[in-house]
Chains A and B, each alone.
Chain A
Amino acid sequence: MAAESLTLVEAVAEAIHDEMALDESVILLGEDVGRSGGVFRATEGVYDAFGPERVIDTPLSETGIAGAAIGLAASGIRPIAEIQFSGFTYAGLEQLYTRAARLNARSRGQFSCQMVLRAPFGGGVRAPDLHGESMEAIFVHHPGFKVVVPSTPHDAKGLLTASIRDPDPVIFLEPKKIYRAFREEVPEESYAIPIGEAAVRREGSDVSIFTWGSMTRPTLSAAEAVAEDGIDAEVVDLRTLSPMDRETIVESFKKTGRAVVVHEAPRTGGLAGEITALLQEEALFYQKAPIERVTGWDAVYPLYDLEDFQLPNAARIEDAIKAVLDE
Chain B
Amino acid sequence: MVRFPEEYDDCEQIIAPDGSYDTEAANALELETNELQELYGSMVQARALEKRGLTLQRQGKFHFWMECRGLEAAHVGVAAGLGDRDWMNTEWRQYGAHIQRGRPLEDILLFWLRGYEEWESDTIDEMESYERRMPHIVAVGTQVPQTVGLMWGRKLQGYDEVGLVGVGDGGASKGDFHAGLNFAGVLELPVVFVVFNNQWAISTPVERQTAAETYADRAIGYGFEGTLVDGNDVLAMYRATKRAVERARSGEPMLLEALTYRRGAHSSSDADDYRDDSDREAWRDRDPIERYEAFLLDQGIFDPDDFEAIREAADRRAKEAAERALDIAAEQSPTEVFDEVFANPPTYIDEQREALLELVSEHGEEAFRW
User: Which residues of A approach B to under 8 Å, CB–CB?
Assistant: 25, 27, 53-54, 56, 58-59, 61, 63-64, 66-77, 79, 94-95, 98-99, 103-112, 114, 143-144, 146, 166-168, 196, 242-243, 246
Contacts and interface: CB of A to CB of B under 8 A. Distances in A.
A70 B215 CA distance: 26
A166 B340 CA distance: 14
A108 B116 contact: yes
Contact of A68 (B149, B339, B343): B149
B142 A94 contact: yes
Nearest to A107: B135
B230 to A, nearest CB: 30
B348 A246 contact: yes
A98 B156 CA distance: 25
B45 interface: no
Nearest to B120: A110
Contact of B156 (A27, A70, A243): A27
Given A75-B154, A104-B341, A105-B341, A68 B135 contact: no
B129 to A, nearest CB: 15
Interface stretch (B61-69, B177-185, B237-245, B316-324): B177-185
B115 A106 contact: yes
Given A59-B182, A168-B343, 7 more contacts: A56-B187, A67-B149, A68-B148, A71-B148, A105-B339, A107-B117, A108-B118
B144 A67 contact: yes
B176 A107 contact: no
Interface of B: 115-119, 124, 134-135, 137-139, 142, 144-154, 156-157, 175-176, 178-180, 182-183, 186-187, 339-344, 346-348
A52 to B, nearest CB: 11
Given A98-B139, A104-B340, A71 B150 contact: yes
Contact of B183 (A68, A74, A111, A242): A68
Contact of B179 (A67, A107, A146, A243): A67
B170 to A, nearest CB: 15
B208 to A, nearest CB: 21
Nearest to B343: A167
Given A98-B137, A108-B116, A108-B339, A63 B175 contact: yes
A110 B119 contact: yes
Given A98-B139, A108-B118, A143-B341, A76 B134 contact: no
B134 A74 contact: yes
A71 B145 contact: yes
B146 A70 contact: yes
Contacts of A25: 157
Top 4 nearest A-B pairs (CB, nearest first) are: A71-B149, A67-B145, A75-B153, A243-B346
A67 B148 contact: yes
Contacts of B135: 103, 106-107, 110-111
Given A59-B182, A143-B341, A76 B138 contact: no
A75 B123 CA distance: 11
Which of A68, A72, A111 gathers the greatest number of chain B CB atoms within 10 Å? A68
Contacts of A167: 343-344
Given A98-B139, A168-B344, A59 B183 contact: yes
A61 B124 contact: no
B93 to A, nearest CB: 17
Contacts of A196: 346
A23 to B, nearest CB: 13
Contacts of B179: 59, 61, 63-64, 67
Given A53-B156, A243-B346, A108 B183 contact: no
